Every structure is written in C-alpha cells, then in structure tokens.
Amino acid sequence: MDSFLFASTLYLLAACVAVPLAVRLGLGSVLGYLTAGIIIAPLEGLVGSETQNLQHFAEFGVVMMLFIIGLELEPRTLWGMRHRLIGLGGLQVSLTTGLILTAAMALGVPWQGATAIGLIFALSSTAIVLQTLNEKGLMGTNGGRSAFSVLLTQDIAVIPMLALVPLLVWPGLNTRAAMTDAHQDTDHGAASDVMHMLEGLPGWGVTLVTLAAIILIVVGGHYLTRPIFRYIHRARLREMYTAVSLLFVVGVAALMVLVGLSPALGAFLAGVVLANSEFRHELAADIEPFKGLLLGLFFITVGAGINFGTLMNAPFVIIGLTLGMMAIKASVLFVLAILFKIKGRDRMLFTLGLAQAGEFGFVLTSFTVQQNVLPTDMSETLLLVIALSMLLTPLLFIAYDKLQHRFLEQADAVPHDDIDDQQPIIIAGIGRFGQVVNRLLQSSGFQTTVLDHDLPLIQLMRRFGFKGYFGDPTRPEMLHAAGLAEAKVLVVALDDPKAAVKIVAFARKERPDLKIIARARDRVHVFELYKAGADKIVREMFDSSLRAGRYVLEELGLTEHDAHEQEVAFFRMDRHAMSDLAELWDPNTPVSENEAYLERAKALNRDLEVELLAKLTKPETAEAAE
C-alpha cells in the first residue's frame, strides 16, 4: 500500500507540473501527460510493480471516454454514419494492413509476422486523438467526424483481429514462456489476462453468449436505468449518483471482458443506448472527472513505457521505422480523404490526426508474442515504435494549427465563385449567426450578397432557395467583387475571430463611411473589433443570455413589464461599459494585469447594480407614498 501511495503521488505530482506548463506553452494537455511519463520513467525503480497496477487502473479512462462519446450520439446518428464506418474505416484498416504487410515482408519478416505487424499498425490512438479533438473544438468538423468514424471502426476491428492472430503462428518460434515475465508490464488490455467464459464453448455457443451480452446491455440500458436512478433519487445523496454511474460503466466493461469483447466498445454501445435518456447529462457529469484523470494517467503510463535504452541502441532504425509507418498511414488517409471528398483543412486534420499507432496496438503486440506469432525482441521494437508515434501525435496537431491557414487555398480544389450580383448589404459568413441575419433582411424586402468559405454550407443554402457565393471573405478581391465599393452595410458573421478582425480592418481602411456590424465571440473579441473599426458589435451569446435572464426574473415573481425593463437597463449599461472598457483595453497586456481596466470594470459593475436595484424599488416607493 505504501508503494502504491508513493507511485500515485509521484504520477500526480508530475502531471500537476508538466500539464499546466505544456498547456501554457500551447502544446496541449496530452503532450504534457506524455512528457510527465517520460520524466517519471527513470524513477520506475522507486515505485516498483505499482506502475503496472496504475496502468491497468488508468485503462478505464479510455472506457469512460467512449462511454461519454456514446452519450452524445443517438442511435439514429450512428446509423447515419454507417457508410463512413464501413467504407472509410474499413478501407483504412484493410489498405494500411496491406501496405505495412508488404513493407514488413520486404524487410525480411515472414508473411505471418508481417500480417500481424500490419494489423498492429493499422490501429490509431482513440484516446489521444479524441482528447485532442475535443480540446481544440475540432470534433464537430468534417475532418473530426471522419476521424471519429475511422477510430470507431478500428475499435470494432480489434475483435476479429484477436481471433485472427492465433492463426498466424511463426513456424519454429516459441516465446510463450519468455512473454510471461518480459511483457507483463506492457499488456494494455484484459483480453490476454482474464480467463473469460467463452473458453471451451463451440462456435455457436460463443456467438450466442456474445449476442446475449450485447442484448443485455441494450435492454438493461433502456429499461433498467430509469427505475434505478429514480430509486437513487429518493435517497437524496449526491455521492450515490456517482456510485451508480461508475457501477454502470465498470459493470458493462467487466461484462465485455467476460465474453471476450472490447470493454471500450461495450461502454460506447451503452452510451449510445442511453443517448435518449433523461439521465444522460447526469451520467456524463458524474463520469467526466474520473475520465479526465484516468486518461491523464493512461497517457503518463504510455510516456513512462518508452524504453529509451532500446532507442539509444538503434536510434536511426527506430526513428526510421516510426516515421516510415506514419508516412504509410498518412498516405492511405490522404488518398481516402480525396476519395470521400474531405477537403481543405479537414483533409489535413484527418490525415495528420490518425497517422499514429494506438493503445490497442499494445494489446495486439503482447498477444502476438504469447501466440508465437512474433519474437520477443521484435515486439520490443514494435512497442517502442507505437509509443513514439503516440508521442509525436500532439506535435502533428500543433503542425496542423500552424499550417492550416497557409495551405488552405492549395488544399481546396474547388475554385471560388464569380460574383455576378452586387447588393447594398454584404454578409460575410452564413453559419448559424449569419443565417438568421440573412433571413430577417430578405424577409423584410432587402437583398444581400452572401460570402462563405464553407462549400457544403453554401450548397445547402442554395437548395433552400437562398443565393450565396463560395469564396474566402478575408481576401480583398472577394470583398471588392461582392461590391464593397458601393455597399451600405457589411455584416461580419464569421466563426473565426481573427478572420473577422481582418475583414473589419480592411473594410474600414477601404471605406471609412461604410457601416460595419460584426459578430464577436467574447469581450476581448469585442475590443479587437472596436479597435479595427466596427460600428456595432454583437456578442454571439449576449442577447440569448439576456432573454434567458428575463425569463428567470419572470419566474421569480417580476411582471413581464418589469423584467423587460430590467433587461433593457442591463443592455444599455453593458453597452456603455463596453465602450468605456474598450478605451482602456491594451492588446499587449492581459486583462487580469491591466489595473486601469480592472478598476474601471469594478466601478461599472457597482453602477450597474445600483441602477438595476433603483429600478426595482421605484414602484415600491411610489406605492408607499400613496
């Protein structure tokens, strides 16, 4: 126990130091966790075998992550992804396996071992990729959704891979005994450790038991969770909600292990079943803290598992194999992105995001050695290649961030539209925000010229009868072609804050008399747009938040008129405050360190409270006087 506590303290201390530093440097949390593991690796002798215990404990982070992802997907949405799951994901696994198999055979590996290596490297890291996509807000993009489809297919493919590996025995190879001691620490899955209930059953029995487990998850998730949560609700103990949530996820994972299936896949299936449940948000909120911590520990164990001794013995060989494997995977992904019409930045994200090997590769590598498919020394090299490729993945995402704007025009094969109609109103950006503005203006009898760089969105807009032009609104020639010289109003409704500021600054320089209305993401973005020359600035969530606040006031007893007056007063005071604070805002000084800004903000908040309270008490004072 003392050793376990010491190991836990060491891991958590390394994470608390390395992760905030990595995030502050813009490297992301995943690279911070991996770095923490690398730092801990030389101290492994101090923590002994507890590293292995923490490693198996941390694997539940992947299980919980897929459960939460499943909660966000309705079964209807999953069914809509079937073409990408079978087509995009299936082709990625099969083509990557074939190419790496060929390359391994060219290096002298027998076809049995080469096939196993191809299967191992065909898988990507679900944990690292999804964590990074969520952190960077890229999960909703076409590239992010495509990457998720491939990852889900890979997780499903692990099952037949585990069934295929025993058929690939390398003639004359006997590593089973050596594997028991040498590779026990690198087994990242329960498939090879647990004596599951399928042993000894005929083929039809295995099928029946597997189907029974899946049916139990589906039926139990649909019919049993509601009465269980209602029963727990009567106890009114907050910790019981957490206990039941953990019981559900861990129980599903244990059931999947017993029948020889992936616990992560079972948790994902359970999440999908509960996606329509009224308790989905409660479940997600209870699991989220455990998921984040356990995933972090998992990444630390990956970093700690990198054997730098083996790397130093043959650095050029190991690095060459790692880069070669990633190049083959990236080539397959790039071709598939073209075939499935993934364009521009999404193509780059899809290609770079999935080019690494994954955590299930550890499972297959360990399993192949146990089944006499690969020799022990080769497995050491494979494990190192997998770990190094996972270590490089956050750097690839950083490269994506740096290169996406520079190569955007080259990545998009579709030429920009020729604008043949100029109207007095130009709308740059036709997403959720711009659509409402455009519909209101056209319903009021005004014509607009709409520009957006999202071709599918423009095409969808045309199908509904609205005219729009595909093109990059940040390009000066596009704005001039749209009629910037004669326009009366420019509406900047882009999602990208930097692009919005760029458009406002250019339009103000070209047309000092032009009225510019811009969408802002937050207060700092408001100040940037104000400096750039926007006339009116609308924070994207401000008006809807005001309306929600007004509804709350009405529910608390205020009349509809009084609640509306409070809303209007708050709006006016906030507009005045933003104008004052914009003059004090300094782009080179963080808001938290700008003393003049902070003092003025405090004073304005006090003024706002006084005015709102005064408006509420005026009617009461008048009634008392009568």
Contacts of 55 (CB under 8 A, 6+ apart): 185, 188, 298, 301
Three-class HEC string of 263-319:
HHHHHHHHHHHHHHCCCHHHHHHHHHHHHHHHHHHHHHHHHHCCCHHHHHHCHHHHH
For residues 297 and 218, what is the distance between their CA atoms, to the nearest angstrom?
Answer: 30
Phi, psi of 499 (to 5 degrees): -65, -40
Please give the pLDDT value at position 511.
93
For the domain 425-617, what is the CATH code? 3.40.50.720
pLDDT of residue 283: 77
What pLDDT shows up at residue 134?
Answer: 79
All CATH 1.20.1530.20 domain ranges of the chain, comma separated, are 1-44+51-170+191-405
* Residues recorded for the chain: 626
**Per-block mean pLDDT, blocks of 10 residues, the chain (626 long):** 69 82 73 80 60 65 75 68 82 95 93 93 88 79 87 80 79 54 41 48 68 81 80 78 81 80 75 76 78 77 74 90 95 93 85 88 78 85 88 83 61 60 89 89 90 82 82 88 91 90 93 94 88 90 88 90 88 85 82 83 80 65 40
Asked if residues 67 and 20 have their Cβ atoms less than 8 Å apart, the reply is no
Q: What pLDDT is attached to residue 70?
A: 74
Instruction: Give the pLDDT score at 28.
Output: 67
Tokens of 37: 């593991």
- Residue pair 201/209 in contact (Cβ under 8 Å)? The answer is yes
Q: What CA–CA distances, in Å, run from 416 to 259, 319, 438, 453, 478?
A: 54, 41, 21, 9, 9
pLDDT at residue 195, rounded to an integer: 42
In the chain, CATH 3.40.50.720 covers: 425-617
Predicted local distance difference test score (pLDDT) of residue 259 = 74
CATH class of 1-44+51-170+191-405: mainly alpha
The letter for the amino acid at 562 is D
Q: Are 284 and 68 in contact (CB under 8 A)?
A: yes
Q: Report the distance separating Cα 252 and Cα 336, nearest Å.
A: 34
Helices (H) and strands (E) in the chain, counts: 31, 6
Contact predicate 363/159, CB 8 Å: no
